[in-house]
Amino acid sequence: AQRVTQPEKLLSVFKGAPVELKCNYSYSGSPELFWYVQYSRQRLQLLLRHISRESIKGFTADLNKGETSFHLKKPFAQEEDSAMYYCALHGSSNTGKLIFGQGTTLQVKP
């Protein structure tokens, strides 16, 4: 079965602290993994995707197939990073649909 697990519902850190939002997936083939972010009163938007291997707003995520993980990391959190973060899996290029994790609320305190 295809599944995405985000074990933390809430992650609270102080400004300047490192951040790691965990994401584990279950998929038998070669997945595409994404991180989406939803800031307060804004729509869901793509943050980054594993195949791009890019850094967006200081965030990075590496796909670890051995551990079936795609954790989102940032070395120094900023208050404006406070948002809801969703990890998502695209399991088949034929269907295009995304499977979302439960989401993690990141709260960055001043």
List of residues contacting another protein (CB under 8 A): 32, 36, 43-46, 49, 86, 90, 95-103
Shortest distance, position 11 Cβ to another protein, whole Å: 16
For residues 41 and 66, which CB has a smaller minimum distance to another protein in the complex?
Answer: 41
For residues 13 and 99, which CB has a smaller minimum distance to another protein in the complex?
Answer: 99
Shortest distance, position 93 Cβ to another protein, whole Å: 8
Cβ-contact 89, 32 below 8 angstroms: yes
Residues 33 and 100: their CA atoms lie apart, in Å, by 10
Shortest distance, position 2 Cβ to another protein, whole Å: 11
For residues 12 and 78, which CB has a smaller minimum distance to another protein in the complex?
Answer: 12
Residue with tokens 């595409």: 32
